[in-house]
């Protein structure tokens, strides 16, 4: 038995897989960050200690949201599609913000985000406008008294 698939469903399936992978990477990154806890380094003769707990929790939450939206895309939910576009845009902005800390990783993530954004938006179905079937009401041109002019 053969099923016919449209290019749109192929792109959505691709976006679903990539979103799920990005979400899994974020969860792994969040768990690793939570395990490290703090980072210490010396900059210009000063000791700097950074607590990474908030960053780890943010990565965990964003990873879970990306996986949830990816699973929603499996059901072809339009709400999941809109949420995926918003989350991927936010993910790309966050990756640009940490570009100085993780240049190669951030560039890979931004490239994947752009591909997923393309996959989600290039075959967006057109809005269907329902034709008006009822005749338009024409106001009566007679004065209030009822007699024609």
pLDDT digits (tens, 9 = 90+) for 14-53: 889 999 999 999 999 999 988 988 777 677 777 777 788 8
Angle of helix 7-36 versus helix 53-74 axis, rounded to 10? 160
pLDDT in tens, 64-114: 999 999 999 988 888 999 999 999 999 999 999 988 888 998 999 999 999
In a domain, 89, yes or no: yes
Range of the domain at 60: 7-121
Which residues is 47 bridged to in the sheet? 42
H/E stretch holding 41 reads: strand 38-43
Would you give the DSSP letter of residue 134? S
131 part of a folded domain: no
Angle at 17 between CA 9 and CA 75, to 5 degrees: 50
* Domain total of the chain: 1
Q: Provide the terminal-to-terminal Cα distance of the chain, rounded to the nearest Å.
A: 73
State if pTM tops 0.75: no
The answer to whether residue 143 sits within a structural domain is: no
């Amino acid at each position: 038995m053969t099923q016919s698939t449209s290019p749109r469903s192929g792109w959505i399936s691709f976006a679903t897989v990539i979103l799920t992978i990005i979400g899994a990477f974020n969860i792994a990154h969040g768990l690793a960050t939570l395990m490290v806890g703090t980072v210490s380094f010396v900059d210009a003769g000063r000791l700097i200690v950074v607590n990474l707990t908030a960053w780890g929790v943010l990565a965990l939450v964003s990873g879970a949201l990306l996986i949830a939206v990816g699973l929603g895309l499996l059901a072809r939910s339009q709400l999941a599609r809109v949420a995926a576009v918003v989350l991927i845009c936010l993910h790309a902005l966050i990756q640009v913000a940490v570009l100085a800390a993780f240049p190669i990783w951030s560039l890979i993530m931004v490239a994947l985000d752009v591909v997923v954004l393309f996959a989600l938006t290039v075959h967006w179905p057109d809005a269907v406008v329902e034709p008006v079937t009822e005749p338009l009401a024409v106001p009566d041109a007679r004065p209030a008294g009822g007699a024609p002019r």
